């Protein structure tokens, strides 16, 4: 296990390097000096701030020197200061991170709560009525633009019926609420965004669950269990589901970029002050230090998620860590 873990972590190093190269490269896509664009698009940047930026990034130096400097700074978790308000980028990100994490964790819970039963039920009788019904649902769900569904939800539940709030994270008089009401209020505001981000992966996940379960149910040990007279519910859930869930761990890790990317769209639509919206605002204002930091952090979080998923898989399934090398 330790050997597997070491190999897996070592293989991440080149990926990390590529990530920093790409993030760094973003800043140099624009013609001229990065600070020119910022100053042109945002008159709030003072000359002094601009000179500090240029010195900080060593923009008079050759590109590889600039990259090396930037790299040594981000290794120490120093992402510089925002062009917009001169606050440390790391501080801006960490204050926005909890909301985004909350949305993603809840939507993941929702995905599991719906996709697993759906996949299992469809797999019990492949080609049966329920299976065909969910196939159609999955195809449509897979093809629908989730932001469009979010807008329709907003128009219907928010504007027409007035059941759900359409934007923001808190009600106006949030500060005056008791603690439990503050929580309830926040949860209330998160219903539509969570539903939207969950929807993105829901169709795919229930499909994977179905095919994984169908595979497992054809295994010899399932036939053995049935032949022994184990009752069907136990065969499905104890022998079947437990094994069918294994590959899902990996799929979950792979769907992380979509979840993080989805929060950019959801938070922008619902005006939620999370990491995704921070990214959108930074991109629109060409706030390069924030953009570069978020691309790096977003990719890093995804990689970490994938690593955790692989480790979880390997600890659950010995064939992985013995069999193939990472």
Q: Which stretches of the chain bind another protein, using CB under 8 A? A: 11, 14-15, 18-19, 22, 26, 29-30, 37, 139-140, 142-145, 147-149, 151-152, 154-156, 159, 254, 257-258, 260-262, 264-265, 268, 279-280, 283-284, 286, 291, 294-295, 298-299, 302-303, 306
Q: How far is the CB of 180 from another protein (least distance, A)?
A: 31
Given the complex with another protein, which of 148 and 237 has the nearer CB atom? 148
- 145: burial class by Cβ within 10 Å (0-12, 13-18, 19+)? exposed
The distance of closest approach from Cβ of residue 101 to another protein in the complex, given in angstroms and rounded to an integer, is 15
Using the minimum distance from each CB to another protein, give the nearer residue, 118 or 295: 295
Token code pair at residue 19: 């990530």
267-270's contacts with Cβ under 8 Å and 24+ in sequence apart are 267/99, 267/100, 267/103, 267/193, 269/147, 269/150, 269/151, 269/154, 269/193, 269/196, 270/150, 270/154, 270/166, 270/167, 270/168, 270/189, 270/192, 270/193
Q: How far is the CB of 231 from another protein (least distance, A)?
A: 34
Compare residues 159 and 187 and give the one whose CB is closer to another protein: 159
Nearer CB in complex with another protein: 26/222? 26
Q: Residue 266 CB, nearest distance to another protein (Å)?
A: 11
Q: What is the DSSP letter of 175?
A: G
CB of 279 to another protein, least distance (A): 7
Q: Tell which residue, 319, 195, 200, has the closest CA to residue 258.
A: 200
Please report, for residues 37, 228, 257, 291, the alpha-carbon distance to residue 196 in angstroms, rounded to integers and kept in the order given: 34, 45, 15, 24
> Which is closer to another protein, CB of 33 or CB of 181?
33
Is 182 exposed, middle or buried, given 0-12, 13-18 or 19+ CB atoms closer than 10 A?
middle
Nearer to another protein, 124 or 151 (CB): 151
């Amino acid at each position: 296990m330790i050997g597997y873990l070491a190999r897996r972590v070592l293989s991440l190093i080149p990926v990390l390097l590529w990530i920093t190269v790409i993030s760094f490269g973003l800043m140099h896509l624009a013609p001229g000096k990065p600070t020119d664009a910022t100053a042109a698009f945002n008159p709030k940047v003072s000359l002094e701030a601009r000179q500090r930026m240029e010195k900080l990034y060593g923009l008079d130096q050759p590109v590889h020197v600039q990259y090396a400097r930037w790299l040594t700074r981000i290794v120490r978790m120093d992402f510089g200061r925002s062009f917009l308000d001169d606050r440390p980028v790391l501080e801006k990100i960490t204050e926005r991170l909890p909301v985004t994490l909350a949305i993603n964790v809840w939507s993941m819970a929702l995905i599991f709560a719906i996709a697993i039963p759906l996949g299992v039920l469809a797999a019990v009788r492949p080609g049966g009525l329920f299976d065909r019904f969910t196939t159609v649902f999955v195809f449509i769900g897979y093809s629908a633009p989730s932001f469009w569904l979010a807008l329709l939800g907003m128009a219907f539940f928010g504007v027409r019926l007035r059941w759900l709030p359409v934007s923001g994270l808190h009600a106006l008089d949030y500060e005056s609420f008791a603690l439990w009401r503050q929580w309830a209020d926040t949860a209330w505001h998160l219903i539509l965004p969570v539903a939207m981000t969950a929807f993105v992966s829901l169709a795919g996940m229930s499909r994977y669950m179905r095919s994984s379960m169908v595979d497992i149910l054809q295994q010899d040990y399932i036939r053995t269990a049935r032949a022994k007279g184990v009752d069907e519910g136990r065969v499905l859930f104890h022998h079947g589901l437990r094994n069918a869930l294994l590959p899902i761990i990996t799929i979950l890790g792979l769907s992380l970029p979509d979840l993080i990317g989805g929060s950019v769209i959801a938070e922008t639509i619902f005006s939620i002050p999370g990491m995704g919206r921070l990214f959108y605002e930074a991109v629109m204002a060409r706030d390069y230090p924030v953009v570069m930091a978020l691309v790096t952090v977003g990719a890093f979080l995804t990689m970490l998620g994938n690593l955790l998923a692989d480790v979880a898989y390997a600890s659950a399934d010995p064939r992985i860590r013995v069999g193939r090398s990472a």
